[in-house]
Structure 1
Amino acid sequence: MRLNALTAIVSLMALVPLAHAETPPDPMFGDDPHAKAVLECHADYARRFARALTPVKGTPTDVATAAYAACIGPFMAFEKATAVVSETSTNAGIFLDPARYRQEQRAKMRDYAFAYTMDVYLRQTTTF
């Protein structure tokens, strides 16, 4: 009897981390899958350089800048999705000036991805 109860408790405890395993929404872009793809691409790029066996001859700024070229595909998909939102949105601020909305989203993602890449790179390489 005790063994069955112990087994049940251990099984339930094993499921608890799985329920909380989902990542929280991004503070800037929420659950936008295109934004997540861009940020994950940039983070992957930063992790690869941070874990390189030979030292990278560049600054964190260089790595973050180079990530744009490596992640141009997800970034272009983000821009296309932003264009669709700007054309179909019922938000007055968006549909009255869709070009401005697209430009703001592009600039916001570019700046945020740059900072995000530097953050990941520095967290992976710096030891305090």
Structure 2
Amino acid sequence: MEFSMRIFAWLGAATVMSCMLAPPVLAQTTRFDGNWSVEVVTQQGACDRAYRYSVIIQNGQARYGGPEQFNVNGRVQPNGSVSASISRGQDRANVTGRLSGNNGTGTWSTSGGRVCSGNWNAEKRG
């Protein structure tokens, strides 16, 4: 499995939330907590065509549900807007999109060693 695709595993839900949020905002943000299945599809570049990954969101923070280690920096706004980056070594992916209810969609693009881009779809599983 190539890094350029694995890097997006947490994709649609990468979040970093402050513990200092007001209770109503925190309640709105934690509605996205749970297990997510994220499908990543390459539309341009020499990355693998498609993969599906597990993402776990707890207390508004996202982490990859698989064995690899990634540096994740991003957040989901209370309205579901996703803006994040993931890096590992020289590779970096920028992710944007939106979560709504039990689904999410967006786009991604890499920079660094291999340049690729595409879209992602997410489904909440629990």
Normalization by structure 2: what TM-score? 0.26
Which structure's CA Rg is the greater one? Answer: 1
Structure with greater strand share of residues = 2
